[in-house]
Amino acid sequence: MKPLSKSAACGAKCLFAVMQYMKANGGTIATKEINNIVQKNVKLSEWEQERAGRLQNIRWWTMTQLYSIDYNKAGYILKKQGSWYLTPEGEEVIKQQDAEQILRKANAAYRKWRQGKKMDEDDTTGDETPEKETIINIEQLEEQANEGIRQYIKAKNPYEFQDMVAALLRAMGYYTPFVAPKGRDGGVDVIAYIDALGAKVPRIKVQVKHMPDDSIPAKDIRSLLGILRDGDIALFVTSGTYSQQARTEALTSKTYIKLIDGEEFIQMWQDNYSKMTDEDKNMLPLKHIAFVGSNE
């Protein structure tokens, strides 16, 4: 078997380290954390740390980005809202294959995907790099946009974020007759009904935590579950994240509880934005910009 090129071998070991980190840390990693994880866990040569190419980016980072597209097309990782997620297929492959074997399989999946696309008539070189660079550029623009949204939300006070949660629920078709007033501490922050009178079940009791830099602990999940009554289900929304213990608490609960973290909240706001009133839209106004993309 032909050895991998230096560039491919570099991408393989960096991506393997990132996948191992995700497996050990809840299955996800923020894109901005990848730099530190690779530098702590991968032995990088001088060549790999040099700046190269038209944009003079660090070579190992360029290779990690380029080959991450192969891993995405192979179904080993997902990229969403500024984070990478390890899929069950990705978790399984790192148990059975080494770094270079995984890259070979991922690249084969990418090439199969590429062959299935309708390529331009002028594309006769077989060079994957230009197409991958376009994908990366779009991913970076999306990440910059999402980072702007994160910072906008972070600047909100807890009551403003609470109002945003209620606005999102209304856009999704729920009625929100109760939104906790300022000064009220603890308990339920929003109550949502599926009908105007609140006569139908389930009724949703919502707790909102505006903690963009922190993880919600398991005890907060248990506290919300403890105040539910017959016909209630729970929704916990944070502008930050959840600890792995908190997610386990929710998954193993006998009573249904939905956890929404900051990244999912942003995605849901974008998905439901067109259904909001102008007043609610103004809590986090968005502007749509279209890029040429793919249905893949």
Q: What per-residue confidence (pLDDT) applies to 121?
A: 38
Q: What per-residue confidence (pLDDT) applies to 183?
A: 75
Q: What per-residue confidence (pLDDT) applies to 130?
A: 72
Percent above pLDDT 90 for the chain? 69
| pLDDT, tens digit (0-9, with 9 covering 90-100), for 57-98 | 899 999 999 999 999 999 999 988 778 999 999 999 999 999
**277 pLDDT more than 60:** yes
| pLDDT, tens digit (0-9, with 9 covering 90-100), for 180-195 | 998 766 679 999 999 9
Q: What per-residue confidence (pLDDT) applies to 257?
A: 95
**105 pLDDT more than 70:** yes
Q: What per-residue confidence (pLDDT) applies to 186?
A: 61
Q: What is the pTM of this model?
A: 0.69
The mean pLDDT value for 212-235 works out to 93
Q: What per-residue confidence (pLDDT) applies to 240?
A: 94
3-state SS, one letter per residue, for the chain:
CCCCCHHHHHHHHHHHHHHHHHHHCCCEEEHHHHHHHHHHHCCCCHHHHCEECCCCEEHHHHHHHHHHHHHHHCCCEEEECCEEEECHHHHHHHHHCCHHHHHHHHHHHHHHHHHHCCCCCCCCCCCCHHHHHHHHHHHHHHHHHHHHHHHHHHCCCHHHHHHHHHHHHHHCCCEEEEECCCCCCCCCCEEEECCCCCCCCCEEEEEEECCCCCEECHHHHHHHHCCCCCCEEEEEEECCEECHHHHHHHHHCCCCEEEECHHHHHHHHHHHHHHCCHHHHCCCCCCCCCCCCCCC
**205 pLDDT more than 60:** yes
| pLDDT, tens digit (0-9, with 9 covering 90-100), for 110-160 | 989 888 765 443 443 346 777 777 777 777 777 778 889 999 999 999 999
pLDDT band at 293 (very low <50, low <70, confident <90, very high): low
Q: What per-residue confidence (pLDDT) applies to 117?
A: 64
